[in-house]
Amino acid sequence: MKGMIFAAVALVLLSGISAFGQAEQIFKGKVCLGPEGRTPTTINGELSLPCTVPHPKLGARYILFNPDTKTTYYIEGHPKPKSFAGMRVVVVGTLDTSTGTIHIDDMFRGLPAKITQASSVYIDCSACPRGLAVAWKTAFEEIEEWGRFDINPDPKKADLIFIFAGNPYLGDYVTRDGPDTRPVAIKTTYMDVVDPQTGQDLWGDSRVYGSFFVARATHDLIKELKLRMEEESQSNPAAILEQQHPRKTTPSLGN
C-alpha cells in the first residue's frame, strides 16, 4: 500500500515537471521558410534570412528565426505560419525541446522597434476633409489620455507620424510632391504609423464606420495600437492569450 502511494505521488510530481517543461512561452522573431540552421546574412547591419522562397521544396517547413539570439525553431499550428512569411511576429506557444518545434497557441504580427521605442508623435490629418476632420482632435485626446507619447507639432522632430486619412497610405510621405489630391469618400478611416525619415509604413489599420463615426473609428484605431504595444511588452503568455481583438491574428497592414 505504501508503495502504491509513493508511486502515485511520484506520478503526480513527474506529470507536474512534464507540464512545466511544456509551459506556454512567448517567442519573438521572423517567420521564414526552413530549413533551420541556415547561415543568416547581414543586410544594413541587421541579421536576416531569406524568408520567402519562390519554389519551396516538398516538405519545407516554416521556422521562427530570432536575429538577436540567432536561434531558429520549427513552428506549426494555427494561425498558419505561411501568411506571416517574412514578418516579425510574436508567438505564444509551447516548445517541444526534443524536436525544436513551437506549437502555436497564438501568433500576431510584431511591432517594429521604431514604434516600441518611440517617444514622440506628430498627428497628420492634412487629407481630412469634411467629417474626417474630427480625427485630429480625437487622436489628440486619445494620445494625451494614453500618456505614452509627446505630441510634437514638428513632423521633422517627431519619432513617428500618425496619419489619419480616408484613403490608404501609399508609402509616399517623404517623396510626395504636393498634396494628396485623391477624392475622399469617407467610408473608411485609415490610420498609419509612418517613419518620418523614410516614409515607411510601420503599422496600419482601418475601420469602416462611415463619415458620422470617424471619432469612434479613430478612438478604436488608437486603442488597437495601444493594445498591440502592451502585448509587445508583455512577458506573461496567459495575459496575451486573454486579449481578443479583431486584428490580432491578421498579418496584413490593413490597407
Partner 1 sequence: MRIFWILLFISAASAAAFCSPGGVLEKVNKIQVDPTVVDPSSKIDDSVAPSLVRYNLRAAVRDAHMEEGNSPIRAHIVLDIFSSESPVRKAAGMGSGRSTNTVDGKLVIQDANGKELASVKIHVHGSVAFSTSDADGDRGVHATSDLEQRLLKEIEALR
Nearer to partner 1, 57 or 156 (CB): 156
For the bound state, the minimum distance from the C-beta of residue 36 to partner 1, rounded and expressed in Å, comes to 48
For the bound state, the minimum distance from the C-beta of residue 121 to partner 1, rounded and expressed in Å, comes to 12
Nearer to partner 1, 130 or 245 (CB): 130
Nearer to partner 1, 31 or 127 (CB): 127
For the bound state, the minimum distance from the C-beta of residue 212 to partner 1, rounded and expressed in Å, comes to 7
Report the residue from 212, 223, 236, 241 that binds partner 1 according to the rule CB under 8 A. 212
Interface segment toward partner 1; rule CB under 8 A; list 5-13, 38-46, 121-129, 244-252? 121-129
Q: Cα 191 to the chain's mean position, in Å?
A: 15
DSSP the chain: -HHHHHHHHHHHHHHHHHHHHT-EEEEEEEEEES-TTPPPEEETTEEE-----SSPPTT--EEEEETTTTEEEEEEESS-GGGGTT-EEEEEEEEETTTTEEEEEEEEEPPPHHHHT--EEEEE-TT--GGGGHHHHHHHHHHHHH-SSEE-S-TTT-SEEEEEESS---S-TTT--S-------TT-EEEEEE-TTT--EEEEEEE---GGGHHHHHHHHHHHHHHHHHHHT---HHHHHH---TTTT--S---
Nearer to partner 1, 73 or 190 (CB): 190
- Contact between 179 and partner 1 (CB under 8 A)? yes
For the bound state, the minimum distance from the C-beta of residue 130 to partner 1, rounded and expressed in Å, comes to 5
Report the residue from 89, 90, 128, 193 that binds partner 1 according to the rule CB under 8 A. 128
Site for partner 1 in 141-160 (CB under 8 A): 141, 144-145, 151-154
Site for partner 1 in 182-211 (CB under 8 A): 184, 211
Nearer to partner 1, 163 or 202 (CB): 163
Nearer to partner 1, 63 or 127 (CB): 127
User: Of 133, 128, 123, which Cα lies nearest the Cα of 159?
Assistant: 123
Ramachandran angles phi, psi of 176, nearest 5°: -60, 130
Q: Residues interacting with partner 1, by CB under 8 A?
A: 123-137, 140-141, 144-145, 151-154, 178-181, 184, 211-212
